[in-house]
Amino acid sequence: MPRPHVALLLSLVAAYGFSNFPGGLDPYLLDVLTGIGINIILAVSLNLVNGYTGQFSLGHAGFMSVGAYLSSAVSLFVAPKLVGELSAAGPVTQGAVFLAALVTGGFCAALAGLLVGVPSLRLRGDYLALVTLGFGEIIRVIFQNIEVLGGALGLNAIPASTSLVWVLAVAAVTVFVVHCLVESTYGRGFLATRDDEIAAAAVGLNPTRYKIVAFVVAAFFAGVAGGLYAHFKLTITPTGFDFTRSIEIVVMVILGGMGNAVGVILAAVLLTVLPEVLRPIAEYRMILYSLLLVLLMLLRPQGLFQFPARRPRG
């Protein structure tokens, strides 16, 4: 079996073992771990766009909200019609419904990614950042005005289907997919697009297509992360997915060192844990958090976990 598949299988088994920890996990710890898992999915998928493909998307929270809303809609409105009362159904049915909800959320987010990506990915750098920023705001306003989806109040009483094993399993799959895509001859095209679009076209690659693929794949996983988030928090509002949430994910990617898979995962862990660790200092928390970010950027602009490239041999 290929190495990435072995790693995926092992991490799925580990995720299962970990979430069935003997004696159960402390609820607070469970909360933090779930947050870490969701942030890993978000950061690793955004890394495909902002890191490997060298684009600058600020719309990840927007795609997350599409997934959150649509998967919740499946659980709340569609599933009861198909399988009846969810709490009365067996665990397999519940699992299948949840999987369907997550995948629906992911595909809707991917579709949104395609719609935003096709016209805007011809643009470069700052322009794309602005377009995706605009998208995030538009999607928020749209959800605020859809009465069926709760309007400004959002949705609540979403079934609590998210468990740690789901989150960790999806995180493992995200890491696997991004890794496999990038570590292939096809995937060299993402990196080539980042380094020099003109040169990429000159060796027969289509930079726009690569950017769209990266964008759509990332949006899919953001949507799934949104679904996991919704079924974990049990209530979602449009404002929960605003621009600052997108920034948070971008910071994880930058801090991890753009295009550095392990670094981005570590950064996602660090930035989820940091606000928790800083909780005792209450109102100074966000000040210190911001200060730490500024310091990290000044001291390690290449990313916290980025190390010098290998020297040429000979």
Partner 1 sequence: MAELLRLEQATIRFGGLTAVNAVDFAVNEGELCGLIGPNGAGKTTVFNLITGVYAPTSGRISFGGRDLRGLGVDDIVALGIARTFQNIRLFGSLSVIDNVRAACNLHRTTAPGHALLRLGAFRRDEAAIAARANELLEIFNLGRFRDAPARSLPYGEQRRLEIVRCLATRPRLLLLDEPAAGMNPTEKVELIRLIQQVRRQFNLSILLVEHSMRVVMGCCERIAVLDYGVKIAEGTPDQIRADPKVIEAYLGEDHGSSLAHH
Closest CA to 38 of 260, 303, 286, 248: 248
Structure tokens that stand for 307 in this block: 């190390």
Of residues 114, 123, 130, 201, which one binds partner 1 by CB under 8 A? 201
Q: Which of residues 24, 85, 185, 299 is near partner 1 by CB under 8 A?
A: 185
Shortest Å distance, C-beta 12 to partner 1: 15
Check residue 56 for interaction with partner 1 (CB under 8 A).
no
Q: Are 41 and 170 in contact (CB under 8 A)?
A: yes
Q: Is 66:108 a contact under the CB 8 Å cutoff?
A: yes
CB of 64 to partner 1, least distance (A): 23
> Which of 13, 20, 26, 196 touches partner 1 (CB under 8 A)?
196
Q: Does 177 bind partner 1 (CB under 8 A)?
A: yes
Hey, what are 139's tokens? 């999607």
- Taking CB under 8 A as the rule, does residue 187 contact partner 1? yes
Interface stretch with partner 1, choices 41-49, 103-111, 175-183, 270-278 (CB under 8 A): 175-183
| Amino acid, res. 6 | V
Q: Are 109 and 63 in contact (CB under 8 A)?
A: yes
Taking contact as CB under 8 A, which single stretch among the options 67-75, 152-160, 188-196, 227-235 is the one that binds partner 1? 188-196
- Tokens in use for 113? 């990614």
What minimum distance in Å lies between the beta carbon of 302 and partner 1?
Answer: 12
The answer to whether the beta carbons of residues 176 and 101 sit under 8 Å apart is no
Concatenated DSSP letters of 145-192: H-GGGTGGG-B--------HHHHHHHHHHHHHHHHHHHSSTTTHHHHH
Told to check if 5 binds partner 1 by CB under 8 A, we report yes
Does 310 interact with partner 1 (rule: CB under 8 A)?
yes
Radius of gyration of the chain (CA): 20
Residue keyed to tokens 């794309």: 128
Site membership for partner 1, residue 87 (CB under 8 A): no
Q: Which residues bind partner 1 (CB under 8 A)?
A: 2, 4-5, 177, 180-181, 183-189, 191-192, 194-196, 198-206, 213, 309-314
